[in-house]
């Protein structure tokens, strides 16, 4: 779905010691299980932070995961890229559900966290 009405443009973010919270420019009051939304990050706040990403909605903070179900970190996301995210709410590990990024993310934080190996 490429409709801009389902696209969350995040022009601001907050960073603390634990998370980077992306704040969409629209009120997200209801989310439907398995619906796909667009996510565009318009601010580079937290772009260098190696912290998990949450999207702040009226329902609360919702974690962002990759297709493998792993946490997405702020330094894995790029600004001005339209990510396709699917919302799911049947995972009991997350009270408010979770967003799963359907397209590729930047693996740079995963690579920088792995020490070089000698051959």
| pLDDT score at 107 | 62
pLDDT of residue 113: 44
In angstroms, what CA-CA distances link 40 with 26, 91, 98?
Answer: 12, 24, 17
CA-closest candidate to residue 57, choices 89, 94, 96, 83:
96
Model pLDDT, residue 80 = 86
What predicted TM-score, i.e. pTM, was given to this entire model?
0.79
pLDDT tens figures, 23-73: 998 777 788 888 899 999 987 765 667 899 999 988 899 999 998 889 999
For the chain, which residues make up each domain, given as ranges?
4-109
H or E element in which residue 99 lies? strand 98-101
At residue 117, does pLDDT exceed 60? no
Query: How is residue 32 written in tokens?
Result: 């439907």
């Amino acid at each position: 779905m490429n409709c801009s009405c389902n696209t969350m443009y995040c022009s601001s973010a907050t960073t603390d010691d634990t998370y980077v919270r992306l704040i969409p420019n629209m009120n997200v009051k209801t989310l439907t299980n398995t619906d796909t939304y667009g996510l565009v990050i318009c601010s580079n706040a937290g772009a260098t932070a190696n912290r998990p990403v949450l999207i702040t909605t009226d329902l609360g903070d919702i974690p962002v995961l990759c297709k493998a179900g792993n946490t997405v970190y702020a330094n894995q996301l790029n600004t001005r890229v339209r990510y396709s995210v699917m919302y799911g709410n049947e995972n009991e590990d997350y009270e408010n559900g979770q967003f799963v990024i359907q397209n590729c993310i930047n693996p740079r934080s995963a690579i920088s966290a792995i020490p070089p190996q000698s051959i």
